[in-house]
Chains A and B, each alone.
Chain A
């Protein structure tokens, strides 16, 4: 009787557990330019990463690399990708690469990161030349997952400078799976009908007439134009041809700042009609100008919708397939929507005593586009095709390209340090990865303070970033704040 091929595979994989790879060295030292590119891709404007003067005055005494970049600098880059590897260059000899090749040959061609835990011993600086050694900690037996049958592969990497100074560690777990073998974990909603086509152009259309024309002309120009009496200056909504205060019929408009807060909200579950995704969160927004406006919310889950949530305007037309928001006889218009307001980056640094357990961070919704994904992948020096090549990503069982984990960690680091201020020292980023972050699915970060130790300044922030597919990452960020 011949052995079960899956058992033979597992035996081969298990033989690699505990083995160490060769020292992997960066080809070039860290540069200010590479750091700046990373900051641009992530949108992190913490001056300690690129402003010599500000950095010199900081606790670091000079420019530092963002902590989430620990494991990007010694990556072998594009030439290490199978399609680009020179014929005379041997395949990577580290145990994870060996394990992944065995799995790919056995049909486990899909890949997703599952866990990533970065522990920062010291912040990196321009000029640091890094190396790491990898140990394969575990390969799981075959598991049935939502994505497909697969194996979890766990490694730990120790990062040092070439001079041997320990700067950090990475525990990393990925799932290699067979595309198309997944079991959907879809919840039983009691409604077996397929969801309606969410294409926005199928939405009910507004009736446009002479009284409200200005509003819809504004939609075309991406301006939320609020009616204002040209006589007495009174602002009002909804539109009316006559000012009820002064009696004037000369009605103009002001362009709303688009900022406001939720006055009320609902989540629509039933009935489900074409043009929308359900459950659909709809807000009654109190605009800064003092009038209210109804619109659906983007990137806000039913649980995140709370009275008072700060929101800001965006327009439903960013997706090439979503050009038509709604149409009247004069063609398509865009539609206003609201997302949670982008939090402002804190310019001073919170003291540990200024945060309290349970305190919530403001929500942050990132409108994920292909550019975000590709720019992030390149800036984090991750050239895996699933992060930049849609055709290859789809061949590997993914619906589209998706954010690589280092970019997600970069956004996570930015989210938390924008809240704490620039001189918070990140000592660890530990996340479990879930739903992929595909283009056009807004990704919303939420967080709360899990623990504070005022004596040491150590703070743990619990975080989750979710899109409509579910939690994308869930985990913690550990920091040290000034006491």
Chain B
């Protein structure tokens, strides 16, 4: 058994976000500063007290500019996590390790971008110059053959999943329907009051078969920040502490960036399995203890695979798990009660962490009873991360 020693010794004390839009009308740096300031305000912590920053390598806003904008005098910890959407929960893990070890007192985790009005990740790597670093060269196995976008990469896994497990497009569609149902009652969601039916999903145009448009998450302008401190400091702040019960990163055998096509099996997410093992061992919890989860949903098929990797159901059983509203409010395990990235906003999963915090605080617009422990996951198909947050005892 592995138990991470920082587990239970750090807490999320503030969450802050901008509005989620298709065109923010302001700079990415401003979005980041607004989100960071909001998280500090939520916690009742003066931004100048922040001494640690944690973000994504893809983030365009450097720590130095955040520091300047927030009026921070001194930073003792600043570090970044690689691999795009796989990073969100790992930024919080890094923050928890920093505050638990005394490296920093208050660490802000942040992510902000004009991902819809500016550079859109969904359009893929088509404009990427043919760089030949070890990382850039990885695109050579797919780009000259027309697999250029995240949707095209994930679709390859989805086809195999359908072949091996008998999963159907409708099964993928049930994830979208659940997300949009939850978004429909969330005023912060882009798709507020816009639920969809399975028929809508089936009728939506192909992006990359077997993925329809409604299998793919939206693109968003916005920012989200999460403030982390030690459990002791947390108990003196404005909000009830949301304890970091476990956090994990994961890569697994023959790992590639959303293109791990060369493994023995491609129907699972072994890197998420690596996270799941650490989450359960560190938290001491079991799937039965979790009443709601925020599962990364840039594309619907990998939500099914995550249910299996975390043991909410067995391999190949997720299609049955999501049937009959299984992941909707009132179902077996309500998933993405904020609407997910398909319904609320695509912020590389950082908004999902905020929803996990709200569930534990009992302030979600789609509150689940007994949400004492909430699982949150990072990007799927990539080197990834996961987080278990819970109530302070």
Contacts and interface: CB of A to CB of B under 8 A. Distances in A.
Contacts of A293: 141
Contact of B147 (A237, A282, A325): A282
Contacts of A269: 205-209
A58 B146 CA distance: 50
Contacts of B126: 204, 271, 273
Interface in B130-183: 130-134, 136-149, 152, 155-157, 159-160, 163
B157 A268 contact: no
Interface in A263-301: 263-271, 273, 275-276, 279-280, 282, 284, 291-296
B155 A266 contact: yes
Contact of A204 (B123, B143, B155, B160): B143
B238 interface: no
Interface in B215-262: 261-262
A323 to B, nearest CB: 15
Nearest to A239: B137
Nearest to A338: B145
B266 interface: yes
A209 B133 contact: yes
B148 A208 contact: no
A265 B206 contact: no
Given A265-B156, A328-B130, A212 B140 contact: yes
B119 interface: no
A127 interface: no
A307 interface: yes
Nearest to A240: B134
Contacts of A170: none
Contacts of B137: 206-209, 211-212
Contact of A294 (B123, B147, B206): B147
Interface string A181-211: 0000000001000000000000111111101
Interface residues of A, number: 41
A335 interface: yes
B146 A284 contact: no
B144 A326 contact: yes
Given A264-B163, A271-B124, A302-B209, A276 B146 contact: yes
A180 interface: no
Contacts of A231: none
B393 interface: no
A291 B163 contact: no
Given A204-B139, A207-B130, A307-B163, A264 B157 contact: yes
B63 to A, nearest CB: 29
Contacts of B152: 266, 268, 282
Given A204-B143, A212-B140, A267 B208 contact: yes
Contact of A296 (B139, B146, B163, B206): B146
B125 interface: yes
B133 A335 contact: no
B145 A264 contact: no
A266 B208 contact: yes
A79 interface: no
A276 B125 CA distance: 15
B209 A209 contact: no
B123 A271 contact: yes
B349 interface: no
Contacts of B128: 204
Given A204-B143, A271-B149, A265 B133 contact: no
A316 B38 CA distance: 55
A207 B139 contact: yes
Interface in A206-254: 206-209, 211-212, 237-238
Nearest to B124: A271
A408 B328 CA distance: 55
B255 to A, nearest CB: 12
B210 interface: yes
A274 to B, nearest CB: 9
Most buried by B among A204, A265, A325, A335: A204
Contacts of B144: 203-206, 325-326, 335
Nearest to B161: A264
A292 B160 CA distance: 14
A270 B208 contact: yes
B145 A266 contact: no
Contacts of A238: 138, 141, 262
B262 A237 contact: yes
Contact of B261 (A205, A276, A280, A292): A292
A206 B207 contact: no
Interface string B1-16: 0000000000000000
Interface centre among A238, A264, A296 (most CB of B within 10 A): A264
Given A207-B132, A208-B130, A266-B159, 12 more contacts: A204-B128, A205-B143, A208-B132, A209-B132, A269-B205, A271-B149, A279-B206, A293-B141, A296-B146, A307-B163, A326-B144, A335-B145
- List the 10 shortest-distance A-B pairs measured between CB atoms, nearest first: A206-B140, A207-B132, A267-B209, A204-B143, A205-B130, A266-B155, A209-B132, A264-B160, A207-B137, A269-B206
17 contacts: A204-B148, A205-B130, A207-B136, A264-B163, A264-B261, A266-B147, A269-B205, A269-B208, A270-B208, A271-B124, A273-B126, A292-B261, A296-B145, A307-B163, A325-B144, A335-B144, A335-B145
